[in-house]
Structure 1
Amino acid sequence: MNAELLPERFAEQAFRTPHAVAVVDGERAVTYDELDRASARMARLLADLGAGPETLVGVSLPRGAGLVVALLGVWRAGAGYVPLDPAQPTARLASLIRESGAGLVLAGPELEETVAGAGARRVDPDAARELPDSDEPLPAADPDGVAYAIFTSGSTGKPKAVAVTHAGIANRVGWTVERHALGAGDRILQKTTVGFDAAGWEIFAPLVGGGTVVLAPAGAERDPAGLLRAVAEHGITVLQVVPSVLRLLVEEGDWSGCGSLRLLFSAGEALHAELVARVRELAGPELEVWNTYGPTECSIDVTAFAADPAVTSGPVPIGRPLPGLKVLVLDPSGTPVPVGVPGELYVGGVGVARGYAGRPELTAERFVPDPYESGARLYRTGDQVRWRADRTLEYLGRLDHQVKVNGVRIEPGEIEAALAAHPSVTGAVVVPYEGEDGGKRLAAHLTTDGPAPGSAELRVFLAERLPESHVPSFFHVLDAFPLLPSGKADRAALPLPAELTAVARAGSVAPRDAAEKLVAGVWAELLGREQVGALDDFFALGGTSLQLTRLAARLRAASGEKISLRGLFGATTVEAQARLLGAPGSGGPSAGAVAAAGGTVATGGPSAAAGPDGTSGDDEPPAR
């Protein structure tokens, strides 16, 4: 594997092919030479302000050519970047800036107060354009230096920043370029939110391989048809998606124009061979489908497996380790387990992150000495796997309460801590459950002091503090939690909310006007239901946060109204969403829409029943 780091590899590629198109941003095409010069000017601006090795620069910019310039510029200044999705709640952005220790933040003027309040300095990215070009050498990145610090959900309620090295990300991107022969003919669609590490290889693999980064148009990542249109219109050859999104593409998308696609990467959730077979039917049998696995603490991906076209059922293995990495499957005593026996997955090698920025105790807990190699470290993943007879790994699940929903890694403790901040909530336990479609959903069980808050109120409360992917589908108030002998909540004994045991529908109240009929029709199509009533709740009918983003896009298209995703979190009935539309006959937008949507969440006592284990203000789903 090429040991050169990514800033140097990009500069070499720009020297070889200065007039080739590096980035496509809507109607704008940016050449390698233009990107080289712009990122060098950005690097000088940041260096003059104090950025350099072992410093972190926050980047909170919408997807666009300017974002690519900013990320490259940070690296060429020798520093590391902290990706900050501008669609996140401002309070959360401020918290992430403080936690990371970033002293500079590249952001628009709308975040001036947020950045200053977090103790950092906002840097206008446009200021770099005023600088002259210079041949003065830029500082070289250190292989062991921090390339980026990216946040992942925290079990204690506090997100933690993972510090990934330049050598680690160079190894992962190098594998993509060299193993899959990425070159001048390749066009990769970049549509993963920058706050997720998978966005890194979408951006940098084509730039060091001589290909083109095509930035997905706004909203395409929320719309299966729009995503496939982007593939067809731009001749995309390489695409990555989480299995839940891939399933939507198969169910609803038109693949007729996607003949250019040669490589599809899937990660973030369990991938099944049935889905791979269906994709190949639509896209063509020549399509290579790769299942990759990796925690945020390990430079995006650790293992990979090329799905076998001859296998059409069962789970797809997560494969073997990438070059430069090693994996161990150990029992609780730290002894390797034989083939077929479940154990915990440990990862070693160049891809292992340095640890959690500013969290030495947590780093020591998860990044442990390698008992088989002096001076080396292993990352303890908490994932349960087993070796198959062909020496590939099969993923079995988590050993703790962590869960992935639509590819997003979520620690229930982070949601529980946010709920505990509500003035009426005295306790919270969040558990996942499996829906009819096999996807994970979250249910929050609460104890309260006084009247129970409405579900819509709780959704809006959380949406102001957490990413939309972290907002539970259901809220259930208990008199008290069932307890284990240790005094902790017995998660297995929590009762299922009524909506999960039998669909609680109010379909007897038919849509009463044009706006309600419009909303009900979109719901019926999206959720696959013949009838939808005016008082039905989106989540009670099986809707998910991922589907809510698609609902927002469809309602915008059908009504012409500006409907925000956060607005829909507070208006989850047909009636309430019709009021938000302001369509004829609806009575216009109503300030009572939030209250009308929520009602009161279900109440009851503990039970022994077995339970389940751009800056628009919208959050986009992780379409990895």
Structure 2
Amino acid sequence: MGTTLSAPCRAPSVLIRTPGRLMDMSRQSIQRFVDRAFLKAEPTNAAIVQSNISMSWAELEARTRVLAASLAGASLGKGKRIAVLTNDRVAMIVSMLAIFRAGAVFVPFDAAHPREQLLKMCQVAEPSALISDDSCSDEEKSAIGASIATQLSLADIPLNAELPPDIEKTSPDDPAYIYFTSGTTGTPKAILGRSGGLVHFIEWEVSSLDLPKGIRVAQTTTPGHDPFLRDILVPLSRGGSIMIPPERNTILVPRDLVDWVSTSDANLLHMTPTIFRNLCGGRLRAEDAPNLNWLLIAGEKLNTVDVQGWYQQFGHQAALYNLYGPTETTLAKFCHKISANDLNTPIVPIGRPISETEFAVLDENGAPCARGTVGELEIRTRHASLGYFNSAAQGGFQFCDGDAVVRYRTGDFVSQQADDTLSFVGRRDRQVKLLGERIELAEVESAILSATPLRSCHVLVAPGASNADELVAFYIDDGSEAQEAFDRSALTHILSPARIPRRFIPVAAFPLTANGKMDEAVLLRMADAAGTGVAPVDEAETQANGLTEQLFEIWRSVLSHDDFGTDDAFMTVGGDSMTIMQLVMQVEENFGYELSLWDVFEDLTVNKLTTLIEEAA
């Protein structure tokens, strides 16, 4: 199957406003960018740091050079799609940089994703080769690699090799990577990233923030999410250090996240608003991270209450930026530096376009909207991706023959303010119709945050009585008296009856997907469990030990069901990233016992937890 990269181009009929500030950005491929970055880096400086282990720039250069030479020698160079399957973050970084140096296309497969999802990705991307290592089981590698012609093990790569002098060079308009987004049919869509577009964003970030040489960047993004690219390439471009968390789940537990940020001495963090809330929830203080200077937040809407909580704990030591941009237009295309003026609005603006980016706010007929009017955002840039790979349907893309600029209809609703900044209103696909009213869920969330004591909330549509759809609001339970006294009738003055959620469900923390975004599927399961009520406790099984009974009650609370026994493992009866956090927090709060993630993953049962707590007493 081929790549569809063009579509009929209509004559321009929209007003493009507010071009971003132009900079003297170089036009180079990611292949040349990586090679030049290695030449400029100080060889003995630390390139990658994880706990007490570090890898120098000289060692990283050698490992990527050897792997790139092996790829080139196997005719897996320019344009070839190379999938990488590993649980080892360092191995993923080495593989990505080697693939770029070989001129090939990086296709990351996050080993934490369900196998069926990875198989669908494999069918769409049609990789020519699979790189893997011993961090994945032979069963995993054989299942994913069954349809891939060439399979390479990092353990079999020679210790030394030089890049062949005749390695084929790539151009800025060649493909560099594939990342996936959800498709409406259940089949993921593969976004083919443009080499020069990736370099443009990295150079923009480094230049705009005036990032210093040797910067330490925290690696908070999983490999299956495209901000992973900036986690790696920003420190690479400045000869800095990539700081990797000790465990994959470190960023999911607020206390562990704060401990790691503090000990890593990171200067810059990229993160989603949900991870940002975890950082705030862990109560990071300025004295804990004196050298933390930049936080770049992107991926979801950023609520002002989260920023207020951050300033209360951390002050103004670090500069906060809100970034916006779909994967289709390469990482991010709008930026807003957060200031005190933003603390008086429910949602932080997404700001203005970055360099070499233009936009229009359009109504349903494709005509420009007046300032202050909500419309769909269209982005115009020559640094967009190359479109959807192996797909005749190009969605919101519009490629014009003979014109380097790509127009992309984002499906996001925004409004343009008097000072030309944009404010995010919501997704087109987050509009619902209930009781005859068209409702924007983001609007309901903003109203709740502005008129109630709730600090964070997420509103979804879920089946209610008689399976009729209703609005359900999930909120972070902070245990405050103000929250306990909250009465939903306070919303009747600002929302119509159809817009007021019928149910408010407290959660200890919002569940996250592997990409660090809100896991709405988990929230819907919680809504379903909360609506069905809770079955009575099996007294015969739990009365024998008072501690066991208390722990059984905690498990039942966090899992929202009691269909398990005291010898059933937590992860086999519905445990996930969100309920793990709730369990850890409740056990520490009630018994003062610090439950490790390893204990949870190693077949933790109620009886085992009882023994652990008793032995620690």
With normalisation by structure 1, the TM-score equals 0.71
Question: SS in structure 2 opposite 1:37?
Answer: helix
The aligned residue for residue 308 of structure 1 is 339
C-alpha contact (below 8 Å) 1:329/1:386 kept by paired residues:
yes
Structure 1 pair 174–583 and aligned structure 2 pair: CA distance change class (3 A): same
Deviation at 1:376, TM superposition (A): 3.5
Partner of 1:94: 119
Q: Match of 2:127, SS?
A: coil
1:400 maps to which of 426, 429, 440: 429
Which one-letter code corresponds to 1:212 in the other structure?
S
Q: Determine if contact 1:522/1:551 at 8 Å carries over to the other structure.
A: no
Identify which of 582, 595, 598 aligns with 1:558: 595
Q: For residue 333 of structure 1, what is the aligned residue in structure 2? A: 365
After the TM superposition, which residues 274-285 of structure 1 pair with which residues of structure 2 at under 5 Å, given as runs?
274-285=305-316
Q: Counterpart in 2 of 1:355? A: 387
Letter in 1 for 2:246: P
Whether 2:108 is the aligned partner of 1:83: answer: yes
In 2, the alpha carbon distance for the partners of 1:299 and 1:560 equals 35
Instruction: Tell me how far apart the structure 1 counterparts of residues 266 and 316 of structure 2 sit (CA, whole Å).
Output: 17
Return closer, same or farther for 1:438/1:103 CA change in 2, 3 Å cut-off. farther
Residue of 233, 254, 268 corresponding to 2:299: 268
After superposing the two structures, state which structure 1 stretch, 60-69 or 509-518, moved more: 509-518
Q: Deviations over 1:144-177 (max 9, x none)?
A: 1111111111111111110011111111111111
Partner SS state of residue 24, structure 1: strand
Matched with 1:224 is 254
1:368 to 381, 394, 398: 398
Aligned letter for 1:578?
V
CA contact (8 A) 1:165 1:353 kept: yes
Contact 1:324–1:349 under 8 Å retained in 2: yes
Alignment-mate amino acid for residue 86 of structure 1: A
* In structure 2, distance between residues paired with 1:31 and 1:585: 40
1:215 correspondence with 2:248 = no
The match for 2:14 is: none
What corresponds to 1:202 in structure 2?
231
Distance of 1:249 and 1:386 partners within structure 2 = 29
How far 1:142 moved relative to its partner? 2.0
Using the alignment, how far apart are the partners of 1:533 and 1:474 within structure 2?
14
- Tell me the residue number matched to 2:492: none
The yes-or-no answer on 1:36 pairing with 2:61 is yes
Question: What is the correspondence of 1:79-478 to structure 2 with a 5 Å cutoff?
Answer: 79-108=104-133, 110=137, 111-133=140-162, 136=165, 138-218=167-247, 219-255=249-285, 256-314=287-345, 315-360=347-392, 362-363=393-394, 365-369=395-399, 376-401=405-430, 433-437=472-476, 469=519, 471-474=521-524
Moved more, 69-78 or 104-113: 104-113
Give the structure 1 partner of residue 72 of structure 2.
47
Name the CA distance, whole Å, in 2 between partners of 1:323 and 1:207: 21
In the aligned structure 2, how far is the partner of 1:236 from the partner of 1:302?
25
Instruction: Give the residue type in structure 1 aligned to 2:122.
Output: I
Letter in 2 for 1:8: R
Q: Distance in 2 between matches of 1:145 and 1:429?
A: 50
The aligned amino acid for 1:307 is I
Retained in 1: the 8 A contact 2:584–2:596? no
Show structure 1 runs of 5+ residues with no match: 406-411, 413-427, 440-462, 477-495, 538-542, 569-576, 587-624
SS where residue 210 of structure 1 aligns? coil
Q: Which residue of 2 aligns with 1:15?
A: 39
Deviates more, 1:114-123 or 1:376-385: 114-123
Alignment partners' CA distance in 1, 2:612 and 2:283: 33
1:519 to partner: Cα distance: 5.6
Change (3 A) 1:536 1:303: farther
Give the 3-state SS of the residue equivalent to 2:344 in structure 1.
coil
Contact 1:259/1:283, CA 8 A, preserved across alignment: no
Provide Cα deviations, 1:207-246, integer angstroms capped at 9, x if missing partner: 0122111111103122111111111112111012222222
Over the residues paired in the alignment, what is the CA RMSD in angstroms? 4.0
1:79 CA drift (Å): 0.7
- Are residue 73 (structure 1) and residue 116 (structure 2) matched? no
Give the aligned residue type for 1:558: L
User: Which one-letter code corresponds to 1:381 in the other structure?
Assistant: T
**How far is the alpha carbon of 1:114 from its aligned partner?**
1.3
User: SS of 1:305's equivalent?
Assistant: strand
* Distance in structure 1 (CA, Å) of the matches to 2:523 and 2:269: 29
Deviation at 1:36?
1.4
Give the match for residue 616 of structure 1: none
CA distance in 1, matches of 2:179, 2:597: 37
- The answer to which of 198-207 and 86-95 deviates more is 86-95
SS at match of 1:280: helix
Q: CA distance change for structure 1 residues 49 and 174 in 2, over 3 Å: closer, same or farther?
A: same
> What is the one-letter code of the residue matched to 1:269?
E
Q: Is the 8 A contact 1:187 1:236 kept in 2?
A: yes
Cα distance in structure 1, aligned partners of 2:398 and 2:477: 34
What CA distance in whole angstroms lies between the structure 2 residues aligned with 1:520 and 1:56?
50
Which among 18, 27, 45 is matched to residue 3 of structure 1? 27
Quickly say closer, same or farther: Cα 1:351–1:187, change in 2 above 3 A. same
Residue 578 of structure 1 aligns with which residue?
A: 606
Aligned to 2:89, which of 48, 58, 64? 64
Tell me the CA shift for residue 273 of structure 1: 2.4
Q: What secondary structure sits across from 2:332 in the alignment?
A: coil
**Partners of 1:53 and 1:7 in 2: how far apart?**
10
C-alpha distance in structure 2 between counterparts of 1:337 and 1:86, whole Å: 44
Instruction: Give the deviation of 1:309 after TM superposition.
Output: 2.3
Shift of 1:261: 0.8
1:342 alignment partner AA: V
Counterpart of 2:182, as a letter, is S
SS at match of 1:383: strand
For the 8 Å contact 1:81–1:148, the answer to whether it is kept is yes
Task: State which drifts further: 91-100 or 262-271.
Answer: 91-100
Q: Look up the equivalent residue of 1:338 and give its one-letter code.
A: A
Contact kept? 2:323, 2:350, Cα under 8 Å: yes
Retained in 1: the 8 A contact 2:362–2:368?
yes
Q: Matched residue of 1:141: which SS?
A: coil
1:446-474: CA deviation from partner (whole Å, max 9, x where unpaired) = xxxxxxxxxxxxxxxxx9xxx99464444
Deviation at 1:13, TM superposition (A): 3.1
Question: TM-score normalised to the size of structure 2?
Answer: 0.72
Gap regions ≥5 residues in structure 2: 1-24, 432-440, 446-459, 461-466, 479-512, 566-573, 588-592
Structure 1 contact 516–534 (Cα < 8 Å) conserved: no
Q: Which amino acid aligns with 2:258?
A: L
CA distance in 2, matches of 1:47, 1:515: 59
Distance apart, 1:499 and its partner CA: 2.7
The size of the alignment, in residue pairs, is 499
- How far did residue 368 of structure 1 move? 1.9
* Amino acid in the other structure paired with 2:551: L
**Contact (CA 8 Å) 1:190, 1:199: kept in 2 or not?**
yes
How far apart, in 2, do the equivalents of 1:342 and 1:75 lie?
40
Per-residue deviation, 1:520: 4.3
For the Cα contact (< 8 Å) 2:82–2:99, is it kept in 1? yes
Are the equivalent residues in 2 in contact too, given 1:523–1:551 (CA < 8 A)?
Answer: no
2:274 aligned counterpart, secondary structure:
helix
Task: Answer whether contact 1:76 1:140 (CA < 8 A) is retained.
Answer: no
SS across alignment from 1:161: strand
User: How far is 1:559 from its partner?
Assistant: 7.3
Identity across aligned pairs (percent)?
23
What is the CA distance between 1:319 and its match in structure 2? 0.7
